[in-house]
Structure 1
Amino acid sequence: MKFTVDQIATIIQGAVEGDGTQTITGFDKIEEGKSGSISFLSNPKYEAYLYDTDATAVIVASDLVLKSPVKSTLIRVKEPYVAFTILLQKYQEMTAERETGISIHAIIEAGVKVGQSIFVGRFTFIDSHVSIGNSTSIHSHVSIGKNVHIGDNCIIYPGVVIYKDTIIGNNVVIHSNAVIGSDGFGHAPQSDGTYKAIPQLGNVVIEDDVSIGANSTVDRATMGSTYIRKGVKLDNLVQIAHNVDVGAHTAIASQTGISGSTKIGEYCLIAGQVGIAGHLTIAPKTIITGRTGITKSIKEAGQTLGGYPAMNNAEFLKRSALIRRLPELFEQIKNIK
C-alpha cells in the first residue's frame, strides 16, 4: 500500500486538514498508530488517543471539535467508521489475488453446471446437478450436495458443508466449517418415552449479499424453506433452526440461537448469546442486547430490549442496578425489624 493522504481523501470523499502530500503505507488502530499509517476515530472513548497518536493521518468526523493540537493530518468525513470500511474494501479489492480454475483433486459429478472464472480447490466434492455462477470461489474440502444452486461472485471457504437443494444467491460469503441445510431438530415423542425423527423435507434459501460466519449452522426446513434474506450478516457460532425467516439486513452476533419457525424482521440487531424461542415474530429494527431471552413476540418496531424475560432495556438496567443493592437493602430491613 502506498497512497498520499489526498488520494485517500478522494476515495472516501473527505476534506484534508493538514499536509495532504504525506504518504500512507499501512493501517493501524489509533492507539497503536505510527508514522506512515492511517487510522480512524469513531468511538468517543478513544478520542484521547487522537492527541498522542503517531499515525500520519486519522479519519475523523466532520463536526469533531479538537480539544488540543494534533500531530496527525486529519481527513474529515461525515461517518468515520463507514469511510474507513470503504477504504479497507478498496484496498482489499486492489491487492486480492483471485485464483481461478478447477483443481485436479476436486471431485465433480455429472450434470454440474459451472460459470466463467470459477475456482474449485483441492478435495472439494460437488454432487450431481449443482449449478455454480460466474466468478465464484469454492475453496478446499468443501462438500456440496445434489441440486444446490450457487450464484455469482460467492466465496465458500474451506470445510463448508452445503446440503442438497440449498439455494444461494449472489455475493454470498460462507466462512469455514459452516453447515447449511442440515436437518432441523424435529423429533416426535413416542408413548414409550423415545423419539421418532420427523423427516426434514424442505431446504435453505440464502439471498444476495449475505455473510455467514465460521461454525454457524442454518437448518433446512421441515417443509418449505428456511430463509436468510438479502444482506443478512451472521457472526461465527450462530444457530438458525428449521423454518426460521431472518429479515433483510439483520445482523446477528456470536452464540445466538433462534428456534424453529420464528420470523425476524428487517434491520434488526441481535447481540451475542441471545436466545429466541420458537414460533415468534420479531418486529423490524428491534435491537436485542447480549444474553437476552426472548419468550414472546415483539410487535412494536424499533425497541431496544434486554434481560430475561426480555423487557425494555432501560428498565432492565434499572432492575439490574437494584439487584446489586439487594444485600444492602436486606440489611436495612433487618435493622428496621
Structure 2
Amino acid sequence: MELTVKQIATLLEGEVAGNDLLKISSLAKIEEGKPGDISFLANPKYESFLYSTQASAVIVNRSFQPQKPVSPALIFVENSYSAFTRLLEEYHRHISFARVGVEEPVFMGEGTSLGSEIYRGAFSYIGRNCQIGNNVKIYPHAYVGDNVRIGDNTIIHPGARILNNCLIGRYCVIHPGAVIGSEGFGFAPQPDGTYKTIPQLGNVIVEDYVNVGAGTTIDCATMGSTVIRLGAKLDNLVQIGHNVEIGRHTVVAAQTGIAGSTKIGDKCIIGGQVGFAGHLTIANGTKVGAQSGVGKSVKEEGVSLNGSTAFLMRDNMRSQAIFRRLPELERRLEELEKKTDK
C-alpha cells in the first residue's frame, strides 16, 4: 500500500505543511520512523522525537506549534490519535482484504453459494448449503460447517471453526483457533450419580461488526440461539456458554467464562478472568473488574463491580482497606482483652 502525503491528508480531512508529494508505504512509532513511514504525535512527552525522526510525515493536532524546524511533512488534524487510528484501520483493511481467489486444495459442499471477491485458503473446508457473502476471506485450515451463513466483508482466520447452522454477520473478524457453535455443556444428573448428555440442538448468531478472539469458544444453544450482539468484542480465550447473550458493543477480556443462559447487557466492560454464574441478567453499562466472580444478577445500570464474589466496588474497596488493617486491629484487640482481664 503506497499513498502520497496529500492522499493521506485527504483521507483524514487534514491540512499539510511540507512536501505533500512524498510517498508513504508504512506506519511506525515516531521514535522509530524512517523514510517512507508515517507516524503521529499526541503525547507531549514524545515531542522531542519530532525533531529527530526520519519519518516522511507525522500527524499532529491542529493546535500544535513546532518549537524547532522539522524535516517530515506535518498533517494537521483535529485529533492526531484518532486520525492515526483511522489510518491503521484503513491499512489493516487493505492488507486483510488483499487476497482474492482459491488456493488448492479446498473443499466446498453441494448447494453452497459464494459471493464475489472471495478468498479461500488452502485446506479450508466449506460444508453444504452455505451462503458466503461478498469479499469474505476464509484462510487456510478454517472450517465452515453445513448451513452456515457468513455476511459480507467478514474474515475467518486460519484454524477457526464455525460449526453447523451458525450465522455470522457482516464485517466480523473470527481469529485463529476460535470455535463457534461447539456443543454446550449440558448434562442431566441421574439417580445413580452419573450424568446423561442433553442434546444441544440450537446454534450461534454473531451479529455485524463482532470480533471473536483467538481460542475463544462460543457454545451453541440447547434450543434457540446463543447470541453475540452488534459490535461486541471478545478477547482471546473467552468461554461463552450455551444460550448466553452478549449485548451490543460489550467488550470481554481474556479468560472470562460466562455460564449458560446468562444475559450480558449493552456496552458492558468485563475485565480478564471474570467468572459469571448461569442464568443471570447483567444490566447495561456494567463494569466488572479483573478476577471478579459474579454470582447474582445486576439490575442497576452503570455500576462497577469488583471482587469475588463481586459486589459494589465502593463497598469492596472499603472492605479491602479494613482487611489490610486486620493485624493491627487484632493486636489492639488483644491489648484491650488484657486490660479487661486486669
How has the CA–CA distance of structure 1 residues 95 and 192 changed in structure 2, closer, same or farther, with 3 Å as cutoff? closer
Paired with 1:25 and 1:40, the residues of 2 have a C-alpha distance of: 15
In the other structure, the counterpart of 2:237 is: 237
TM-score, normalised by the number of residues in structure 1: 0.85
How has the CA–CA distance of structure 1 residues 129 and 22 changed in structure 2, closer, same or farther, with 3 Å as cutoff? closer
How has the CA–CA distance of structure 1 residues 255 and 63 changed in structure 2, closer, same or farther, with 3 Å as cutoff? farther
Paired with 1:270 and 1:39, the residues of 2 have a C-alpha distance of: 31
How has the CA–CA distance of structure 1 residues 12 and 191 changed in structure 2, closer, same or farther, with 3 Å as cutoff? same
How has the CA–CA distance of structure 1 residues 101 and 252 changed in structure 2, closer, same or farther, with 3 Å as cutoff? same
Paired with 1:263 and 1:62, the residues of 2 have a C-alpha distance of: 44
How has the CA–CA distance of structure 1 residues 311 and 58 changed in structure 2, closer, same or farther, with 3 Å as cutoff? farther
In the other structure, the counterpart of 1:319 is: 319
Whether the aligned pair in 2 keeps the contact of 1:51 and 1:69 (CA below 8 Å) is no
Paired with 1:327 and 1:22, the residues of 2 have a C-alpha distance of: 69
Note if 1:289 corresponds to 2:289.
yes
Q: CA deviation at 1:143?
A: 1.8
Q: Amino acid of the residue matched to residue 160 of structure 2?
A: V
Moved more, 299-308 or 70-79: 70-79
Q: CA deviation at 1:150?
A: 1.3
RMSD: 3.0
SS of the equivalent of 2:249 reads: coil
In the other structure, the counterpart of 1:253 is: 253
Note if 1:48 corresponds to 2:39.
no
Output aligned runs, 1:22-171, within 5 Å.
26-29=26-29, 32-34=31-33, 36=35, 37-40=37-40, 47-52=44-49, 54-55=52-53, 59=59, 77-95=77-95, 98-171=98-171
How has the CA–CA distance of structure 1 residues 27 and 125 changed in structure 2, closer, same or farther, with 3 Å as cutoff? closer
Paired with 1:60 and 1:174, the residues of 2 have a C-alpha distance of: 33
How has the CA–CA distance of structure 1 residues 125 and 97 changed in structure 2, closer, same or farther, with 3 Å as cutoff? closer
Q: Amino acid of the residue matched to residue 181 of structure 2?
A: G
Moved more, 295-304 or 312-321: 312-321
Gaps of 5+ in 1: none
TM-score, normalised by the number of residues in structure 2: 0.84
Moved more, 96-105 or 139-148: 96-105
How has the CA–CA distance of structure 1 residues 200 and 96 changed in structure 2, closer, same or farther, with 3 Å as cutoff? closer
How has the CA–CA distance of structure 1 residues 25 and 152 changed in structure 2, closer, same or farther, with 3 Å as cutoff? closer
Q: CA deviation at 1:111?
A: 1.5
Paired with 1:124 and 1:80, the residues of 2 have a C-alpha distance of: 40
Moved more, 259-268 or 82-91: 82-91
SS of the equivalent of 2:305 reads: strand
How has the CA–CA distance of structure 1 residues 189 and 115 changed in structure 2, closer, same or farther, with 3 Å as cutoff? same
How has the CA–CA distance of structure 1 residues 336 and 308 changed in structure 2, closer, same or farther, with 3 Å as cutoff? same
Greater radius of gyration (CA) = 2
Gaps of 5+ in 2: 338-342
Q: Amino acid of the residue matched to residue 308 of structure 1?
A: S
How has the CA–CA distance of structure 1 residues 135 and 21 changed in structure 2, closer, same or farther, with 3 Å as cutoff? closer
Q: Amino acid of the residue matched to residue 199 of structure 1?
A: P
In the other structure, the counterpart of 2:340 is: none
Residues 176-197 of structure 1: CA deviation (Å, up to 9, x unaligned) = 1110101110000111111111
Q: CA deviation at 1:79?
A: 4.6
Identical positions, percent: 47
Q: CA deviation at 1:5?
A: 5.8
Paired with 2:230 and 2:251, the residues of 1 have a C-alpha distance of: 11
Residues 42-72 of structure 1: CA deviation (Å, up to 9, x unaligned) = 6xxx653334564456656667899x88978
How has the CA–CA distance of structure 1 residues 328 and 80 changed in structure 2, closer, same or farther, with 3 Å as cutoff? farther
Q: CA deviation at 1:212?
A: 0.6
Q: CA deviation at 1:170?
A: 1.3
SS of the equivalent of 1:284 reads: coil
Residues 256-276 of structure 1: CA deviation (Å, up to 9, x unaligned) = 111111111111111211111
Residues 209-268 of structure 1: CA deviation (Å, up to 9, x unaligned) = 111111000000001000011111111111111001111111111111111111111111
Output aligned runs, 1:151-300, within 5 Å.
151-300=151-300
How has the CA–CA distance of structure 1 residues 151 and 62 changed in structure 2, closer, same or farther, with 3 Å as cutoff? same
Residues 117-163 of structure 1: CA deviation (Å, up to 9, x unaligned) = 21212112222111211111111112222111112111111111111
Moved more, 84-93 or 321-330: 321-330
Whether the aligned pair in 1 keeps the contact of 2:33 and 2:39 (CA below 8 Å) is no
How has the CA–CA distance of structure 1 residues 290 and 40 changed in structure 2, closer, same or farther, with 3 Å as cutoff? farther
